Amino acid sequence: MAKKKRANGEGSLRKRKDGRWEGRYTAGNDPTTGKPIHKSVLAKTQAEAKEKLKQAIAEAEKLDMSRAKSYTLGAWIKLWYEVYAEPRLREKTKDYYLNYIDNHIIPELGNTPLEKLTTIQIQKFYNDLQKSGRIQRYTHIKLKDKGLSTRVVRGIHTLLNNCLEQAVAERLLLTNPAKGCRLPKLEKREMKILPEDKIGPYLAEAERRGLLAAFYLELTTGLRRGELLALLWTDLDVENMTISVSKQVNRINGELVVSQPKTPNSIRRLAIPQRAVELLVEEHTKHPHSPYLFVSPKTGTMFDPDSFRHTHEKILKAIGAEHIRFHDLRHTFATLSLKYGVDVKTLSGALGHYDAGFTLSTYTHATEGMKRSAADTIGSVISQTM
C-alpha cells in the first residue's frame, strides 16, 4: 500500500491497490457516538484526487454533518411542518398539508436519508403521482381516474420544495433537490356560468326545496359557499340592506370549523337588494331561535357545505341544466354584473378576491352609492328571470 500523503494539510491521499487515488477527510462527528464521520473521494490521478478532496472538504464545511446524517426525509418533514408550517397555516390548509405529507410524501420518500434525496427520485415521485397517485378511500367506489390532478401535484411540490429550502437554510443540504424538477403545466380551467335562461328555473327549484333565500342571495352577491353558510342573523342589517362577511365554514377532519375568510379583502360589508332582505327576513321566521341565516333542514343547525353543494347539483339536474360547480355561481354573478354595467371596482369589493380569467382591480374607492346601485342592478336582473 502506498504511503499516505497530505493534501495541503487537509485530509489525506493514498494510492489504492487498484491504481486509483483515494482522498479521505473528516466531516464532523456523529451526534450519537461522538466519533468522527469519515468520508472519501476517488479519482484516477493524484491531481484529480486533490481537487476532489478540496471540493469535498469545502462542501462539508458548509453542512452541519452531525445533523444532516440524522434525518430521513420523513423525520425532517414532520419537524418542519410542526415548527415552520403549522403555526402559519389556516385550518383548511393544514388539512391539505397533512394529506400531502401523510398520504403521499412519507409513504413514497419518507425512509430516504435526507442527504441522499435526489432530483431524479423526486421527479419520478411526481410522475407516479400523475399516473396513479389517488388514494382508494372507499372499496365500494371504483376510481375512474387513478392519477392526481395537476393542481394537487403542484401543491405537493410547493410543500416539499419549501421543506427542503429550509433544510438548505439549516445546513442540512447543500442544495434543494426539488428545484430541478419539471412540473406538469397548470391546466387553465374553463370558466362556466349558469345561463341567464336557466336562472329562473334554478331559483324556482330552489324555492320548491325551501331554499330560495340562500340561492337568491348567492346569485346577487357571489359569496363563497363557506361565507354564505357561515352568515348569522346578526350579520344582516335590515334597515341599511347590507350583510357583513367576516367568517367562513369548512368541514375539516369531519367537523364543521368556522374561521376567518381566505384573505383580508374578504372581510367586507355588502349592499344587497331589497328582495334579498325580504327573503332573509322571511327565512328567519322559519327558525327564529337559530343564530344562523340558513339552517340545515336535516339537523336544524349550520348547513353542511357538502350537503349544500349536493343540493345545488340536484337543482341543476332537476331543471336539465349543464353541470357547473357551486363556485361557478360566483362567476355567474361576476359575469352578469359586468354585462349590466356594474363598476369593476365595486364588483371587486363585492367579491373580496377574485380571479376568473379577467382582472378586477383592488376594492378601494367604491362609494356607498355605487355599492347600492350595483346591488339594485343585479337584484333587478335576477328578479326579472323569476
Nearest to 353 by CA among 218, 225, 223: 223
> Which run of H or E residues covers position 369?
helix 368-384
Write the DSSP assignment of 272-309 as a string of letters: --HHHHHHHHHHHHHSTT-SBSSB-TTTSSBPPHHHHH
Please classify residue 199 by burial: count the beta carbons closer than 10 Å to its beta carbon, then call 0-12 exposed, 13-18 middle and 19+ buried: buried
> Which run of H or E residues covers position 332?
helix 328-339
DSSP-assigned beta bridge partners for residue 113? 72
Between the alpha carbon of residue 146 and those of residues 233, 235, 326, the distances in Å are 44, 43, 24
CB 191 within 8 A of CB 334: no
Is residue 266 very low, low, confident or very high in pLDDT (cuts 50, 70, 90)? confident
Which residue stretches of 150-259 are H helix?
A: 150-169, 196-208, 212-221, 225-229
Q: What is the mean pLDDT of the chain?
A: 84
- Please state whether 184 falls in left (phi above 0), alpha (psi between -120 and 50) or beta: beta
**Residue 59: all three cell numbers together:** 462542501
DSSP-assigned beta bridge partners for residue 21? 15, 43
**Separation of alpha carbons 71 and 312, rounded Å:** 48
Nearest to 224 by CA among 260, 253, 188, 271: 260
Model-level pTM? 0.66
- Per residue in 181-206, pLDDT (tens digit) is 999 988 777 778 999 999 999 999 99
Please classify residue 94 by burial: count the beta carbons closer than 10 Å to its beta carbon, then call 0-12 exposed, 13-18 middle and 19+ buried: middle
Highest-confidence range of 24-28, 138-142, 270-274, 334-338, by mean pLDDT?
270-274
Residue 140 confidence (pLDDT) above 70: no
Average pLDDT over residues 57-77: 79
- Please state whether 183 falls in left (phi above 0), alpha (psi between -120 and 50) or beta: beta
CB 228 within 8 A of CB 236: no
| Dihedrals phi, psi of 30, to nearest 5 degrees | -65, 125
Question: What is the DSSP code (8-state) at residue 104?
Answer: I
CB 243 within 8 A of CB 236: yes
pLDDT score, position 118: 94
**Residue 367: all three cell numbers together:** 362609494
pLDDT score, position 295: 93
**Residue 3: all three cell numbers together:** 504511503
Is residue 66 very low, low, confident or very high in pLDDT (cuts 50, 70, 90)? low
Cβ within 8 Å of residue 373, ≥6 positions away: none
pLDDT score, position 33: 65
Average pLDDT over residues 128-154: 75
Cβ within 8 Å of residue 226, ≥6 positions away: 248, 249, 250, 305
Which residue is associated with the grid cell 388539512?
95
**Residue 213: all three cell numbers together:** 333565500
**Separation of alpha carbons 197 and 199, rounded Å:** 6
Average pLDDT over residues 291-312: 91
> Which run of H or E residues covers position 48?
helix 46-62
| Dihedrals phi, psi of 243, to nearest 5 degrees | -130, 150
**Residue 361: all three cell numbers together:** 382591480
> Which run of H or E residues covers position 143?
none
Residue 121 has a CB neighbour count (10 Å cut-off) of: 15
Average pLDDT over residues 8-17: 76
